[in-house]
Amino acid sequence: MKKNFLPYNSQQIDEKDIKSVMSALRSPYLTTGPIADEFEKELAQYLGVKYAVVCANGTAALHLSMLALGIGSGDKIITSPISFVADANAPRFCGADVIFADIDPITINLDPQEVRKVLKREKNVKAIIPVHFAGQPCRMDEFNKIAKEFNLNIIEDGCHALGGSYIKDNKSVKVGSCADSLLTTFSFHPIKNITTGEGGAITTNDKNLYKKLRLLRSHGNTRNSDDFLMHDLSHTNFKQSKLLNPWYYEMQYLSHNYRLTDFQAALGKSQLKKLDKFIRKRNELSSLYDKLFEELDQKRILPLDNLFEGTHGRHLYVVRIPMNQLNGGRAKLMMDLLDDGIQTQVHYIPIYLQPNYREYFKEKLYFPFSEEYYKNCLSLPLFVGMTNKDVKRVVSSLNNILDKNWNPSSKKKK
């Protein structure tokens, strides 16, 4: 990797993180144990939610949420086409169907009005998964209203928005507080706002769901004697002595091994302490991008608007550029930026355009705002280790490359 290479996103690990992991590696427990319990408590406290359950990754968090709600064959789940494939895949893992609704073209989040249109047409919709795209919180007040009106559940995908917050009843609430939802899921993949290498979490204020999620995370097994159902197996002479069989555990649900290790949780604990600092830095860098693009006084690079009060989770910094007015389009632009040592990315290809989804849906789907957004979007480098100088370098390189390749007449030819 070139010395001055700028990735589009990257983890921020320091000596405290390394020490925390090393100390966990020296402890008697390696898999999910006391450090995972501590991480869960600290995460829940930070988010202002009653319970957090950590797990193997953000996809597992979505799948576990489906399992906890008993989603299965015949059920339908609505989500956004502009997200990572995991949001659409999770319902399908359980035999349920996924339905897409179009995005709001300004925030790029799932549009509550489009969801309403789907709900008028479809029966058996059990849940909606709004994704806080790029870290900008969704219109949770609207989704909460819809949930009540149509008697369904909201599972927020907070993977981009850990550390972000929005205003509810004049108070700031964190994404993950479940102030307007039943469950929220997170990922701790290295490019997310904090990392555990791989990892994820689910938050909720519902005690029963919390207990079920803890079981589902580990094969559906419990070792908690208060929860045992089969007393003839769990105890020796249950009626007389109530002597607990020390080897006994009980499988109450069919599930998977989605555990997080204690040394990953140790990294999570250490990273969580820095989350607010990380979010501040991500927001500062994003504001600098905004300012520099404004100063360029041009109409061809359009950052996403921020239309809300609160703290943006700032997982991504996305701009839209009319790519059909560029010689070589977005592919050449990305290659030219890479030649300059700047990595960019596209978030996301509308999920329904993936080959597996074309086969799944049989008929051709088309969501105009999702496709228009996809054609022109580009995620620029944004990570905590970036400097203001790096941001200036990206803006100047992007502008120079656009100058070289700008060809508005190419639009007409297409």
Residue numbers of the site for ligand PLP (CB under 6 A)?
A: 57-59, 83-84, 86-87, 131, 157, 159-160, 187, 189, 200
Which amino acid is it at 323? M
CB of 347 to ligand PLP, least distance (A): 8
Q: Smallest distance, Å, CB 135 to ligand PLP?
A: 10
Closest CA to 263 of 14, 16, 10, 36: 36
b/e for 64-76, b at 16 or more Cβ within 10 A?
bbbbbbebeeebb
**In the complex, least distance from residue 59 CB atom to ligand PLP, rounded to whole angstroms:** 3
Q: Which is nearer to ligand PLP, 234 or 345 (CB)?
A: 345
Question: Nearer to ligand PLP by C-beta: 99 or 395?
Answer: 99
DSSP letter assigned to residue 301: -
Please say which residue, 54 or 301, places its beta carbon nearer to ligand PLP.
54
d(CA 267, CA 325): 45
Question: Do 116 and 147 contact (CB within 8 A), yes or no?
Answer: no
Q: Tokens 């359950």 correspond to what residue? A: 53
- Residue that has been written with the tokens 């309403």 in this structure: 116
What tokens appear for 239 in the block?
């009626």
Least Å distance between CB 313 and ligand PLP? 11
Question: Beta-carbon neighbour count of residue 324 at 10 Å?
Answer: 16
CB of 138 to ligand PLP, least distance (A): 12
Nearer to ligand PLP, 83 or 370 (CB): 83
Is residue 219 within 8 A of residue 255, CB to CB? The reply is yes
d(CA 234, CA 26): 34
CB closest to ligand PLP, residue no: 58
**Helix intervals (H) in 76-193:** 86-93, 112-121, 140-150
Which are the contacts of 232, defined by CB distance < 8 A and separation ≥ 6?
238
Smallest separation (angstroms) from ligand PLP to the CB of 55:
9
In the bound state with ligand PLP, the residue whose beta carbon lies nearer, of 112 and 200, is: 200
Integer CA distances (angstroms), 317 to 68, 154, 268, 282, 391, in order: 33, 26, 24, 9, 11
CB of 173 to ligand PLP, least distance (A): 20
Q: Closer to ligand PLP at the Cβ: 4 or 257?
A: 257
CA-to-CA distance for 87 and 89, rounded, in angstroms? 6
The residue (of 187 and 379) whose beta carbon lies closer to ligand PLP is 187
What minimum distance in Å lies between the beta carbon of 188 and ligand PLP? 7
Which residue bears the tokens 């208060």? 226
Tell me phi and psi for residue 84, to 5 degrees: -75, 150
Cβ proximity to ligand PLP: between 94 and 244 the closer is: 94
